[in-house]
Chain A
Amino acid sequence: MLHEGGAMTIVKRGGHRPSEDFSKQKLHDSIVAACLSAGTPTGLAEQIGRTVTDAVISWLHTRPEVTSHDLRLTATKHLRTHHPDAAYLYEHHRKIL
């Protein structure tokens, strides 16, 4: 469980895959990966990853269930304030191919 009253369940994109529990580590790693791909040094990427993950967790407090798409949009919004290039990659990685 994430926290008291917070969202636990992430409904996956398209509904083809089963819902899954929210994973803080998974969100953090994906944000760090986007930052590294955008050329950010590892230390700064980790710091941005922690900041954005904390912001997303605060947002999750008010919602019992969210879709993976909403989660991505919210993470992108927070990431954009720290690193616009990484946010661009994070938002568009499914639209490259």
Chain B
Amino acid sequence: MDIITSLAIVTLAALVHASFQLSVSVLTLLSGHAIGSKKSHRRTVALTGSFVFGAGVMTLLLLSFFALMFSHVFGNNVTSLIWAICCGVLIGVGLAVWVFYYRRERGTTIWIPRSFARHLSNRSKATKDPAEAFSLGLTSVISELLFIIAPLAVSALVIVQLPTEWQLVGIAIYSVISLLALLIVWVAVGSGHSISRIQKWRETNKHFLQFAAGSALVILGAFVYVNQITLALEGIV
């Protein structure tokens, strides 16, 4: 696989990651409670900024962990079987996202373990300290691992095939792009946009986001399958 194709796969996987909404939901709640409890604008921006930074750090750590694990286990010779498993996971998670991602009720509640959701909800209401907001960012990424594991795994698998200097580029591209949704909401809150308008937009477009994320995962799975298995078997790649 050439470098451009590899980075394109990493970019698409990161966009799928960015379209997942748990961290955005927690950020919305955190911002709403910070503004509602009359915290200063500076304090609100610090809290939400720490949250976004925490989510970014955990994404970076998870991707690096997966990449390190894959490079130790598979090295540079990832077999067709491993790629096929990876494609299966991508397509499976994509179908699951189509069916299960949002709960069938009003609002933007997501199919994650309720204990995680309660913890995130309770702590986002109570957080006063940027350090705790940072830890909430870490936790929110772990809570969504069920869905982000597919784009993370395929990105890690692709990244370990790259030349060393490009591996860092791949990790940086994934980390930055996967944070896009959070960064947009952070900037919107920081520039004074109403939380209710942000949440209304999210609720109105939730089925589109769900369909887009699921479809992108299926398309990514099909692309990787064709690129790594079909063409490899035909001796083209």
Query: Are B107 and A92 closer than 8 Å at their CB atoms?
Result: yes
Secondary structure call for the A interface? helix
Q: How far is the CA of A36 from the CA of B199 in the complex (A)?
A: 15
The residue in chain B whose Cβ has the minimal distance to the Cβ of A90 is: B196
* Contact sample, A vs B, 8 pairs, CB 8 Å cutoff: A37-B35, A39-B196, A42-B38, A92-B106, A95-B107, A96-B121, A96-B199, A97-B108
B interface, CB within 8 angstroms of A: 22, 25-26, 28-29, 31-33, 35-38, 105-110, 117, 120-121, 124, 192-197, 199-200, 203
Query: Are B195 and A38 closer than 8 Å at their CB atoms?
Result: yes
Residues of A within 8 A of B197 (CB): 85
Q: Count residues of A near B (Cβ-Cβ below 8 Å).
A: 18
Residues of A within 8 A of B38 (CB): 36, 42
The residue in chain B whose Cβ has the minimal distance to the Cβ of A33 is: B36
Give min CB distance, A60 to chain B, whole Å: 23
Whether a CB of chain B sits under 8 angstroms from the CB of A52 is no
For B25, B35, B38, B196, which residue has the most chain A Cβ atoms within 10 angstroms? B196
Residues of A within 8 A of B22 (CB): 97
Known: A38-B194, A39-B192. 6 other contacts (CB 8 A): A37-B31, A39-B195, A89-B195, A89-B199, A97-B22, A97-B117
Query: Are B36 and A88 closer than 8 Å at their CB atoms?
Result: no
Q: How far is the CA of A39 from the CA of B192 in the complex (A)?
A: 7
Residues of B within 8 A of A7 (CB): none
Whether a CB of chain B sits under 8 angstroms from the CB of A56 is no
Give min CB distance, A32 to chain B, whole Å: 8
Take A38-B195, A39-B194, A85-B196 as given contacts and tell me if A96 and B25 are in contact as well, using a CB distance cutoff of 8 Å. yes
